[in-house]
A = this chain, B = another copy of it.
Amino acid sequence: MDRRSLILDAARRLTLERGVVPSLNDVAATAGVSKGGLVHHFPSRAALVQGLAVAALEEVDAAMVTAAAEGRAAEAWVRLSVPTGDDVPLFRAMAIAHRAVEAPGDDVATAAQEAIARWEGMIQHETGDTVRARVIRLVGDGLAANVIAGIEPAPTAEHLDALLAVLLPGPDGTPR
């Protein structure tokens, strides 16, 4: 893995552990590069945060597009909102963490807004219900917020299944 990816990976891990984007010192130390090396790839803190957000948005976007093609956008959204297994969670921490260091309305905030609108659109297309799509989207956000804030641990698979059964009932009211 090249240095840049190493840095982004370390930054993402620390961000998710702490709930905020860590200092450049900590990122460099965790990534195993010097501070100067980090700065070469990300000339400013804002550049690092943006790199973090862009990578995460793309990752989630790819996952959602794939899921939507299989008619599982809604389920994917809920599942993507929490860490699974040894994989670190995805983008969701960024929007919150980012707000900690940048002003609203900047590039990253705008990109996040657009991405979320796109994803909610996928869910809506699947459920055919604007409000239900919004409920599903917000449940995912709530799950992510709680894990990020350290209020609760990541829910178990059974827990998620129970949530999905309520959110995505089949035509006869049973889980699909």
Does chain B have a CB within 8 A of A19?
A: yes
Cβ proximity bits A98-127 to B, threshold 8 Å, 1 near / 0 not:
111000110001001100100000000000
A151 contacts B19, C-beta separation under 8 Å: no
Main secondary structure of the interface of A (DSSP, over half): helix
Q: Report 21 cross-chain contacts, Cβ distance below 8 Å, ordered by A residue.
A: A18-B99, A19-B96, A19-B99, A19-B100, A20-B99, A95-B151, A96-B145, A100-B100, A116-B152, A131-B162, A131-B163, A131-B165, A131-B166, A135-B139, A135-B166, A138-B142, A138-B146, A139-B139, A141-B142, A141-B145, A145-B145
Does chain B have a CB within 8 A of A7?
A: no
CA distance A104 to B148 in the complex (A): 10
Closest-by-CB residue of B relative to A137 is: B142
Which of A137, A139, A163 has its CB near the most chain B CB atoms (within 10 A)? A139
| Number of identical protomers | 2
Does chain B have a CB within 8 A of A144?
A: yes
A141 contacts B146, C-beta separation under 8 Å: yes
Q: A100 to chain B: which residues have CB within 8 Å?
A: 18-20, 100
Does chain B have a CB within 8 A of A143?
A: yes
